[in-house]
Amino acid sequence: MAVSKITKTIIHPCPTEWMGQSQSTAKAGVSTYNGPAKLLTWWYTDQASRGKNCVRVVPVDSKEAECPTEAGCVAVELDPQKYPLHALDLWGCAYGPEHIEVQCGPSSDPNPAIADPNHFTEVFDLESFYYDTTTNQWSTPEFSNDNISPDGTGEEPSFGWAQVRKNRNAMLISCDSRVSGTDIPDELKQPWIDYRQKLRDLPADWAGIGTVTRLIVWPKEPDAGNTSYGPLAAADEAVPDSVKIQPDGHMAAPDPTKY
């Protein structure tokens, strides 16, 4: 059985900043859906106890769609023309995010490479896409977020400086034995001494990024070889050189018309 497919370009809103909740009036994201013309989705009837995750999704005109509905589930048809963002989430984007090199941090360290903040998978909380079996309606998508710490510091729990220092201190403790042993030759100790100094200097070295601590490129352990501890591995795509850190410490997003 031939499955009917469509390709649809979708322009979607973006927040004013990464993980922000205010919609920008100056930029938008562009994504492409390339998939079945109609989707058949399965959802738990009792979402309160079993969750709102999609149980199964298949093309509506495929043989898989002829299978009986699982017990405790309801089958719901999804029209990508009417709910394109839900289709992007449940079936997938045609293209992943481009990675962008951001010029920041110590000149001796590599620049971080991060996913395009205007890409669909960066903009939206992917768990906010579901069919509500109580109201029998598709959900309203929400922007990705990292809730502000309740301790009053204004820092975000996953990316704030408090978390950076916590991780840094744990890394220092984990390698104490590399420099404290009296039977360890100096030539083996020195790389670890240098590594530990980089960890101690990290808050000062990266202070210029403001609150955007996800940009930090962490130093590699001497035994790590080619393992990268930056925010993301470098991409093969060409990287625009127009992305900078703004005076307020936030990353200036790339021109959405480029995509």
Residue 227: pLDDT above 50? no
Averaged pLDDT for residues 158-170: 89
Spatial CA neighbour of 41 closest among 142, 129, 123, 104: 129
CA 32 to chain centre: 18
- Stretch 148-152: mean pLDDT: 63
Name the more confident of 43 and 230: 43
Distance from CA of residue 254 to its chain's centroid? 16
Q: And the tokens for 43? A: 């959802």
Q: What is the DSSP letter of 94?
A: S
What's the whole-number average pLDDT of the chain?
84
CB 62 within 8 A of CB 77: no
User: Measured between alpha carbons, how far is 145 from 21 in angstroms, rounded to an integer?
Assistant: 7
Q: What is the DSSP letter of 65?
A: G
Residue 153 has a pLDDT of: 61
In this prediction, residue 247 carries a pLDDT of 40
Least confident of 23-37, 113-127, 136-150, 185-199: 136-150
**What does the block give as tokens for 1?**
């059985």
Tokens 């995010």 correspond to what residue? 97
Helix, strand, coil percentages, rounded to 5, for the chain: 25, 20, 50
Query: Would you list the domain boundaries of the chain?
Result: 5-258
**Mean pLDDT highest for which of 38-47, 58-67, 211-220, 240-249?**
38-47
- Among 13-17, 52-56, 184-188, 240-244, the range scoring the smallest mean pLDDT is 240-244
pTM score: 0.71
pLDDT for 46: 96
Where does residue 257 rank: exposed (0-12), middle (13-18), buried (19+ CB within 10 A)?
Answer: exposed
Q: Average pLDDT, stretch 49-57?
A: 95
Confidence of residue 235 (pLDDT cuts 50, 70, 90): very low
Q: How confident is the model at residue 126 (pLDDT cuts 50, 70, 90)?
A: very high
Model confidence at 212: pLDDT above 50: yes
Asked if pLDDT for residue 259 goes beyond 90, the answer is no
pLDDT of residue 151: 66
Does the pLDDT of residue 256 top 60, yes or no? no
H or E segment and range at residue 204: helix 186-205
Q: pLDDT tens-digit profile of 9-48?
A: 999 999 998 888 899 999 999 999 999 999 999 999 999 9
Closest CA to 26 of 34, 17, 35: 17
